[in-house]
Amino acid sequence: MRTKILIFALMLTCYSALAQQDAQYTQYMYNTININPAYAGSRGVMSIFGLHRTQWVGLQGAPTTNAFSLNTPINNSNLGVGLSVVNDKIGPTNDNTISADVSYTVQMSETFKLNFGIKASGNIFNLDRDKLNPQDPADDYLQQVNSEFSPNLGAGVYLHSDKMYLGLSVPNFLQDKKYSDNDYAVFQERMNFYAIGGYVFEISPSIKFKPAFLTKIVTGSPLQVDVSGNFLFFDKLMLGGAYRWDAAASALAGFQITDGLFIGYSYDMETTRLKHYNSGSHEVFLRFELFNKVNKMVSPRFF
C-alpha cells in the first residue's frame, strides 16, 4: 500500500508541476463536444450524452471523471448550441467545469459541411490538503484551495460528411493558475491542442469499419496520440480496439438499443510500468437522441 501511495504521489507531483490537462477519454469519438465546440449540432438531432470513467482501478487517489453534455441544431438556421458539465477528481483535487458552445455551419459542397465553434466555460477548482497529510503543514504549495473560480474561452473547426470528419480545437485559450492563499501556484492550466479525424468504410451492407485518431498537444507534457479501429455490425453492434501511444491498449464495445439510444463501454490496460499497480481503467457512456419525422436518420451515423 505504501508503494502505491508513493507512486501516485510522484505522478501527482509531476502532473501539478507541469500542467493541468483536460480530462482523458477513451471513447473520444463519441464525446467530441467536450473537446471541440464546433461539433455542437453536427449530428442534426438533439444529442444527450453521459459518461463515467474510473481510471487505474486499485490505485489510491486515481482519476475519476463524470461528464454530461447536450447539443442540438437550431431549426431553420445554421446554428448549433451545446452545454456540458465535467467533474474530474484526482487525489485531493476536485475540478468542475461547465461549458456553453455555439457553432455555425457552412455548406461546403453537396456532401461536406464545415462548422466553426466557440466555447465559453467556467471552472471551479478545489484542493483538500487534509487528504495529503503533509509533513510540513505550513508548506505554501500544499494549502487549502476552496472553490477557486476561473473563466475561459475556446474555439474549434469541424469538417464532416456522412462518412468522415476532421477537427482542430483548443478548448481553453487562457492559461490559468490555481493559487493558494499565499499566491503560490498549485496547478497551472495550459492550452490543450486537439486534432481528430475518422473515416467510415462500408465493407458490406451489414459491416462498417471506422479508423479514427486523436492527437493532443500540451506544453510541457508528452505528445498524446490515440488511434482506434471500430467495426459496426448491422448498424447495431460496435466492437473495436484502441491504442494510446506509450500508455494503454483498449477494448471497445457498444450497442444501439433503439434508434435513439446507444450504450458503450471500454476497458484500458496499461502498457507502462504502472500496470503492476492497478487493474486497468473502465469507461461507460450512454447517448440518447431525440428524432422527429424530418431529421430521423435512415441508419445511425458512426460518429
Chain-centroid distance, C-alpha 241? 17
CB atoms within 10 A of CB 41: 27
pLDDT by position in tens, the chain (length 303): 444 443 444 444 344 333 446 788 999 888 899 999 999 999 999 999 999 999 999 888 899 999 999 999 998 899 999 999 999 999 888 999 999 999 999 999 999 999 999 999 999 988 887 777 666 666 666 666 777 888 999 999 999 999 999 999 999 998 766 554 555 555 566 789 999 999 999 999 999 999 999 999 987 778 899 999 999 999 999 999 999 998 899 999 999 999 899 999 999 999 988 888 899 999 999 999 987 655 555 445 778
Looking up cell 509531476 gives 14
Q: Is there a contact between 2 and 9 (Cβ–Cβ < 8 Å)?
A: no
Q: Which residues of 191-210 are buried (b: 16+ CB within 10 A; e: fewer)?
A: bbebebbbebeeeeeeebbb
Query: Rounded to an integer, what distance in angstroms lies between the CA atom of residue 253 and that of residue 256?
Result: 11
CATH architecture of 1-12+33-290: Beta Barrel (2.40)
CA 94, 225, 195 angle in degrees (round to 5)? Answer: 85
Q: Are strands 207-218 and 201-204 parallel, antiparallel or unpaired?
A: antiparallel
Contacts of 244 (CB under 8 A, 6+ apart): 26, 224, 225, 226, 250, 268
Looking up cell 469507461 gives 283
Residue type, 226: D
Task: Record the pTM.
Answer: 0.85
pLDDT at position 141? 60
DSSP classification of residue 63: -
CB atoms within 10 A of CB 66: 16
pLDDT at position 109? 94
- Within a 13 Å sphere around the CA of 54, how many CA atoms are in the beta-carbon half? 10
pLDDT at position 13? 39
Contacts of 135 (CB under 8 A, 6+ apart): none
User: For the chain, what are the domain ranges?
Assistant: 1-12+33-290
pLDDT at position 274? 84
Cell numbers linked to 70: 447536450
Q: How many residues does the chain have?
A: 303
pLDDT at position 11? 47
Q: Is there a contact between 256 and 236 (Cβ–Cβ < 8 Å)?
A: yes
CA-closest candidate to residue 95, choices 24, 10, 36, 26 = 24
Q: Is there a contact between 140 and 184 (Cβ–Cβ < 8 Å)?
A: yes
